[in-house]
């Protein structure tokens, strides 16, 4: 593969101190599959299948989906037992109720309780409830997380700062097919007086993947 | 009507065909229990070649961590669950 580096001028803002070399994202060598993906995009645009604007709009729409959407689903489930029941019965319909349509995959909510903790992975690639939570964090796609969380999940959780006692059963969900999993964390004690918006603000991305509690 | 019901003891086929297989290698040949039935979905092994149908039943299968990994460090209650298509599951007696 051609690895022709360009030595561009460092004229970007660089007013913070750090000892390492400045990041140069544009200088990295593309992998085979990155080049394939760029070539495919360019061909689809050249052939008029999609326009560059449509590609940009799609990326912009994807990037507008954030874990705050999932947090609203969790908070509603905490305050509304009927909604909670609907969420476990049909995740897609429950998410759509709050204005978050999920297409092409089936959303399944799994609930953390005092006895059971759930954590989600995709060992084969990077399946993630993107329609609800947005793009997954980089570590979720890393080979280390994907390989280790099914092999030594408690050690992985410990590295995230989550200690589980041995009387809590751990369930690792490997998203190998058409199902996307949303962990519904336990509602923290002492939040009885918080309203739904304040509760949603407590719900983090990592708690909905299951590597953290709230 | 699905072939398998929750609670059914199953074994994942120990087979290594080429293609776009969504059955993780670490589960092939392993025994588990059907946790739930999800419905019928397009088969990814055909979708990869832009072919559709017939749909395959999809199950959530639960494996004990200690069955997968003899030296597992954790609670004997810990489980790994994966979504496995019907044609990858053999029934156990």
A123: domain CATH number is 3.90.330.10
Do A43 and A62 form a contact (C-beta atoms < 8 A)? no
The residues with which A110 forms a beta bridge, in sequence order, are A183
Active site residue A125: yes
Give chain A as a 3 state SS string.
Answer: CCCCCCCCCCCCCCCCCCCCCCCCHHHCCCCHHHHHHHHHHHHHHHCCCCCHHHHHHHHHHHHHCCHHHHHHHHHHHHHCHHHHHHHHHCHHHHHHHCCCCCCCCEEEEEECCCCEEEEEECCCCCCCCHHHHCCCCHHHHCHHHHHHCCCCHHHHHHHCCCCCCCCCEEEEEECCCCEEEEEECCCCCCCCCCCHHHHHCCCCHHHHHCCCCC
Q: Do A155 and A56 belong to one domain?
A: no
Segment (H or E) for B42: none
A58 and A128, same structural domain? no
Q: How far apart are CA B93 and CA B90, in angstroms?
A: 10
Q: Which helix (H) or strand (E) segment is B83 a member of?
A: strand B79-85
Residue A110 inside a domain? The answer is yes
pLDDT value of residue A20: 60
Nearest CA in chain A to B22: A176
Number of domains in chain A: 2
Q: Are residues A72 and A51 in the same domain?
A: no
Task: Please give the residue of chain B at the shortest CA–CA distance from A146.
Answer: B24
| Band of pLDDT at residue A172, cut at 50, 70 and 90 | very high
- Interface membership of B67 toward A (CB under 8 Å): no
Same domain, A161 and A55: no
Which ipTM score applies to this complex? Answer: 0.97
> Does A175 qualify as catalytic in the annotation?
no
Return the number of CB contacts < 8 Å for A and B.
Answer: 77
Note whether B12 contacts A: Cβ–Cβ < 8 A.
no
State mean pLDDT over A183-198.
97
Domains and CATH numbers, chain B: 9-91 (2.30.30.50)
- Please state, as a whole number, how many other Cβ atoms lie within 10 Å of the Cβ of residue A194: 17
Residue A6: predicted pLDDT = 45
Closest CA to A78 of A166, A156, A189: A189
Q: Shortest CA distance to B38 belongs to which of A124, A177, A126? A: A177
Q: Are residues A59 and A70 in the same domain?
A: no
Is pLDDT above 60 for A87? yes
Percent of chain A residues topping a pLDDT of 70: 87
Q: What's the domain range around A116?
A: 66-209
Same domain, A41 and A77: no
User: Using only C-alpha atoms, what is the Rg of chain A?
Assistant: 21
Q: What is the pLDDT of residue A29?
A: 83
Is residue A103 located within the same domain as residue A34? Answer: no
Instruction: For chain A, give the mean pLDDT.
Output: 91
| Length reported for chain A | 214
Active site residue: A31, A37, A125, A142, which one? A125
Residue A25 confidence (pLDDT) above 70: no
| Domain shared by A188 and A174, yes or no | yes
Residue A16 has pLDDT above 90, yes or no: no
Quick one: average pLDDT of A136-149? 98
Residue A72: C-alpha distances to residues A34, A84, B26 (Å): 35, 12, 35
To the nearest whole Å, the CA of B79 is away from the closest chain A CA by 5
Can you state the angle between helices A81-89 and A67-79, rounded to 10 degrees?
120
Residue A175, in any domain of the structure: yes
- Residues A93-138 have pLDDT tens digits of 999 999 999 999 999 999 999 999 999 999 999 999 999 999 999 9
| A172 in a structural domain | yes
Q: Residue A201 domain-assigned?
A: yes
């Amino acid at each position: 593969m051609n690895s022709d580096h360009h030595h561009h001028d460092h004229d970007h803002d660089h007013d913070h101190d750090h000892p390492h070399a400045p990041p140069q994202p544009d200088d990295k060598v593309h992998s085979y599959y990155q080049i394939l993906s760029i070539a495919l995009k360019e061909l689809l645009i050249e052939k008029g299948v999609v326009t560059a604007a449509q590609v940009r709009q799609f990326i912009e729409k994807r990037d507008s989906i954030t874990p705050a959407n999932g947090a609203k689903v969790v908070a509603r489930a905490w305050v509304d037992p009927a909604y909670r029941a609907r969420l476990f019965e049909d995740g897609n319909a429950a998410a759509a109720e709050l204005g978050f349509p999920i297409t092409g995959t089936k959303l399944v909510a799994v609930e953390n309780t005092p006895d059971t903790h759930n954590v989600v992975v995709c060992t084969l690639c990077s399946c993630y409830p993107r329609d609800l939570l947005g793009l997954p964090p980089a570590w979720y796609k890393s080979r280390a997380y994907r390989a280790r969380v099914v092999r030594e999940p408690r050690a992985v959780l410990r590295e995230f700062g989550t200690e589980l006692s041995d009387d809590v059963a751990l369930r690792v969900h490997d998203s190998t097919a058409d199902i996307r999993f949303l962990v519904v964390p336990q509602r923290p004690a002492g939040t009885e007086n918080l309203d739904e918006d304040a509760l949603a603000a407590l719900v983090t991305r990592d708690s909905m993947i299951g590597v953290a509690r709230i | 009507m699905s072939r398998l019901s929750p609670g059914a003891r199953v074994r994942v086929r120990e087979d290594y065909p080429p293609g776009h297989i969504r059955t993780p290698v670490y589960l092939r040949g392993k025994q588990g229990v059907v946790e739930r039935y999800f419905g019928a979905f397009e088969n990814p092994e055909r979708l990869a070649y832009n072919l559709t149908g017939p749909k395959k039943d999809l199950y959530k299968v639960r494996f004990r961590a200690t069955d997968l990994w003899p030296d597992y460090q954790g609670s004997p209650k810990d489980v790994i669950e994966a979504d496995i298509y019907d044609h990858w599951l053999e029934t156990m007696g």
